Each structure stands twice: as structure tokens, then as C-alpha cells.
Amino acid sequence: MNSPHNCLFCRIVAGQLPSRKVYEDDEMLAFHDIHPKAPVHFLLIPKVHVDSLADCGPGEGAVLAKMMLKVPELARAAGCGNGFRTVINTGPDGGQEVYHLHLHVLGGPRGQWKVPLP
């Protein structure tokens, strides 16, 4: 659906667009969502372009595991000591808007969220 040449998140990774970084290493980048749905809302993305979770295969397994294992550390550092939510929107019916795999991390007091919780 997308290519690294016109991908918004690839441009953020390349430093062509600004972001409020939460974390960065050689394989992934975390930055604040520009339209937060909770008091804490940041995205975690792999630096290598892949359109969506549906496009992942065994080659993405290591970075996906690394991302998931980094989430609790980043969430706690952001003040989510009482819990957090992780969401990966996949494809148009899954609500994906930017076609570069990204993991939403949301947290903070439940009464302050802009999205309903079950």
C-alpha cells in the first residue's frame, strides 16, 4: 500500500519530519501521537518499512518481539504505572491510517481517555 519513499513514518525515521521522540535505537523509534487519545499516547514503529502487521513474516519476528518487550519499560517511564493499552490497527477495516506498522501505547487515568474502554 505504501513505499518507504512516500511513507510519513519513514520520513520521521529519516529526520525529514519532526517528532517528539520517546525512545530510539537502531531498530525502532517511539514518538508521541500528534492526535492523542489518552493522557499518554505514543507510537512505537520499526525503522524498516513494513506496511502492516498482516505483511509481517518470520523476518520481522525479532523486531516485533523487541518492540513488545520495550513497551512496558516505556509505558512505566511515561507514568503508566497503573496499566496501559497496546493497539495495532491493521488494514482499512482495522482502522489503520498510516501504512507503516505501528504500535499505539495508551495510558493514564481512564476517565481522561478520549476513546471508550470496555
Task: Give catalytic residues, as residue numbers.
Answer: 102
DSSP-assigned letters across all residues of 73-100: HHHHHTT-TT-EEEE---SGGGT--SSS
Nearest Cα to Cα of residue 48 among 23, 70, 27 = 27
- The C-alpha cell that represents 108 in the structure block: 493514564
Whether 109 and 19 have beta carbons less than 8 Å apart is answered as no
